[in-house]
């Protein structure tokens, strides 16, 4: 039995690898390297666009960390690649993007049961088992055809600039992690009150790309452009990406009025990204405004931030809990196009969809993972009726409630409950 997997992003490669490791012949279709979406540049699969961070590593105190542990236990290739390509990032799991994608690409292309086809699929397969993982930047023709089956919605998100390390003015910066939780993996760029106010005023008046279209768009909170966030109020950034809390400036022994953090893009620390500074400003404006931060006055921008439109389907109306279509039980879909938001969330949905698809192919009774897990809670969220459906990323709020007052205890208990449910799921599908 052959299965077509359409799209070699995080969800697609995760699904293809799981299926192939269980004897399913996979044809993996992707437009690369013959063509690229507006946001993609690399010929490799599983390309990370917005950031090199996979978020927190804290299994028992953070939903993103818990999600990663759930996936490790289920044999995720994304988690293996992340461990191999990781770069220092304090309490987060960040990776060298090129190394991460290259590892996954090599695994996929060398697998005897995966045939990689560089071809743009323009229509939804009409027969046979298939898994759609075309991502939020699905090509226009395929998106148009998919919309007939599933409906389509959209939002906008953005990526942050990347800076050359040797162009950072360390006279106005210091190395360290928030509350010293790390090994000095960030460069911190403090600002005084006057410096911040001047920067803020320049930021909110700077010229944006595709301004009129963007003003009418839906924006995903997790990747909101910094200039839009700033427009909510003068101190919004000081409680967000410029939060100085826990960052002691060695020159003063105190927290600055505002502090930008820079995070390593590679293990050698030759490039850094501006944490939380996704933006839709025009490139010359990014250079002008961001260079007002004292440590970045001579910054060399290796890549400017960009914004792109992301498509997702109306999953609550279209999908079953196993990621198959209600009207086409032989057709599955996974990734950000379903409304799960985030790198790891996308890969996780691909892994789950593949597990469910393999069971269906083998004639085994379907077993749905518990909603007590982050994986299960996300899949329940996107398949539950919701008139105001919007993308969702990993968080403890989507898990069934726990009657415990202490917040730390509640998260720990939720994590323990989740991992027990994952082990139960593994025993059921083995």
**Are 238 and 355 in a shared domain?**
no
- pLDDT tens digits, 181-227: 878 889 999 999 999 999 999 999 999 876 444 444 555 555 688 99
**Are 30 and 120 in a shared domain?**
yes
Domain count, the chain: 2
DSSP H/E element including 99? helix 97-109
Q: How confident is the model at residue 389 (pLDDT cuts 50, 70, 90)?
A: confident
**Are 28 and 113 in a shared domain?**
yes
**Are 192 and 113 in a shared domain?**
no
Q: Are 232 and 240 in contact (CB under 8 A)?
A: no
CA neighbor of 88 nearest in space, from 181, 170, 209, 205 = 181
**0.75 cut: is pTM over it?**
no
**Are 298 and 328 in a shared domain?**
no
DSSP single-letter state for residue 336:
G
- Residue ending a domain, choose from 255, 272, 305: 305
The CATH number for 292's domain is 2.40.30.260
Which pLDDT score, from 0 to 100, does residue 392 have? 83
**Are 146 and 9 in a shared domain?**
yes
- Note the Cα 388 to chain centre separation in Å: 22
The CATH number for 395's domain is 3.50.50.60
Q: Write the DSSP string, 201-249.
A: HHHHHSPBTTHHHHHTS-B-GGG--HHHHHTT-TTTGGGTTT--TT-EE
**Are 140 and 261 in a shared domain?**
no
Mean pLDDT for the stretch of residues 292-305: 92
Name the residue range of residue 184's domain. Answer: 162-305
CA distance 39 to 51: 12
- Residue ending a domain, choose from 251, 280, 305: 305
Which pLDDT score, from 0 to 100, does residue 213 have? 46
**Other CB atoms within 10 A of residue 240 CB:** 14
How many helices and strands (H and E) does the chain possess?
A: 13, 18
Residue 224 sits at the vertex; the CA angle it makes with 178 and 300, to the nearest 5 degrees, is: 65
**Are 189 and 143 in a shared domain?**
no
**Are 204 and 337 in a shared domain?**
no
**Are 115 and 237 in a shared domain?**
no
**Are 269 and 294 in a shared domain?**
yes
**Are 190 and 272 in a shared domain?**
yes
- pLDDT tens digits, 5-44: 999 999 999 999 999 999 999 999 999 887 777 666 788 9
CA neighbor of 9 nearest in space, from 144, 136, 94, 147 = 136
Tokens of 130: 């298939």
Which pLDDT score, from 0 to 100, does residue 16 have? 98
- Residue ending a domain, choose from 247, 279, 305: 305
């Amino acid at each position: 039995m052959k299965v077509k997997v359409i799209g070699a992003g995080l969800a697609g490669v995760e699904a293809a690898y799981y299926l192939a490791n269980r004897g399913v012949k996979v044809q993996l279709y992707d437009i690369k390297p013959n063509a690229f979406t507006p946001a993609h540049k690399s010929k490799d699969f599983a390309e990370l666009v917005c950031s090199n961070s996979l978020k927190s590593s804290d299994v028992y105190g953070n939903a993103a960390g818990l999600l990663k542990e759930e996936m490790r236990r289920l044999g995720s290739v994304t988690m293996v690649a992340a461990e191999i390509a990781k770069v220092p990032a304090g309490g987060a799991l960040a990776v060298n993007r090129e190394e991460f994608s290259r590892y996954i690409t090599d695994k996929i292309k060398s697998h005897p049961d995966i045939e990689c086809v560089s071809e743009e699929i323009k229509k939804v397969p009409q027969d046979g088992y298939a898994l759609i993982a075309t991502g939020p930047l699905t090509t226009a023709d395929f998106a148009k055809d998919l919309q007939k089956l599933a409906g389509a919605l959209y939002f906008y998100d953005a990526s942050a600039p990347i800076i050359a390390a040797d162009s950072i003015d360390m006279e106005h910066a210091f190395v360290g992690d928030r509350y010293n939780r790390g090994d000095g993996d960030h460069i911190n760029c403090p600002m005084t009150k006057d410096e911040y106010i001047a920067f803020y005023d320049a930021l909110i008046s700077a010229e944006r790309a595709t301004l009129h279209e963007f003003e009418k768009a839906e924006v995903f909170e997790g990747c909101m452009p910094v200039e839009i966030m700033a427009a909510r109020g003068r101190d919004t950034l000081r409680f967000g990406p410029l939060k100085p809390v826990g960052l002691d400036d060695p020159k003063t022994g105190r927290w600055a009025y505002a502090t930008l953090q820079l995070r390593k893009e590679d293990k050698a620390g030759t490039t850094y990204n501006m944490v939380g500074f996704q933006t839709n400003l025009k490139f010359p404006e990014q250079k002008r405004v961001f260079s007002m931060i004292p440590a970045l006055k001579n910054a060399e921008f290796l890549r400017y931030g960009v914004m792109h439109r992301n498509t997702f389907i109306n999953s609550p109306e279209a999908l079953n809990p196993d990621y198959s279509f209600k009207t086409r039980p032989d057709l599955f879909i996974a990734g950000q196009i379903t409304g799960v938001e985030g790198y790891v969330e996308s890969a996780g949905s691909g892994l789950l969809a593949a597990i469910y698809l393999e069971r269906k192919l083998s004639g085994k009774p379907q077993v749905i993972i518990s909603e007590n897990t982050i994986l299960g809670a996300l899949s329940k969220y996107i398949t539950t009726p919701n008139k105001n459906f919007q993308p969702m990323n990993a968080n403890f709020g989507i898990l069934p409630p726990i009657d415990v007052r202490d917040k730390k205890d509640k998260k720990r208990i939720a994590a323990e409950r989740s991992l027990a449910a994952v082990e139960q799921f593994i025993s059921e599908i083995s």
